[in-house]
Structure 1
């Protein structure tokens, strides 16, 4: 299976927070407080960088991807 790291549906936690209009620490806080809300495979830490998917952000926030408006 190949994963396209250029896919716009894969982004850093800070980038995702900004896209959804939330604080920079939103994703990190959400994972710490409500990890069960995140679908399996929708987040991962690479070194010091937390990476999330559009599906994960939509599931946790209840808001569709703002870039698709």
Structure 2
């Protein structure tokens, strides 16, 4: 799926999930699966603001970077 197609998905129809490890202060993000394995990401404090969309490949690369420690210095 191409990027414009990801953003064509209506975010109000997505099933948004928040991590069970989230603190009660509400400072976190929510994820929702998209068609073809993509992922949408939004700010849980401002769910009506614009969200970000990632293709399945982009999301896999991001998760791989997390597991490899690519972001440990940030």
Do they fold alike, i.e. is TM over 0.5? no
Q: TM-score range by the shorter chain?
A: under 0.3
- Relative to its length, the structure with more helix (as a share) is 1
State which structure, 1 or 2, has the greater radius of gyration over its C-alpha atoms. Answer: 2
Higher relative contact order (CA closer than 8 Å, sequence separation 6+):
1
TM-score by length of 2: 0.25
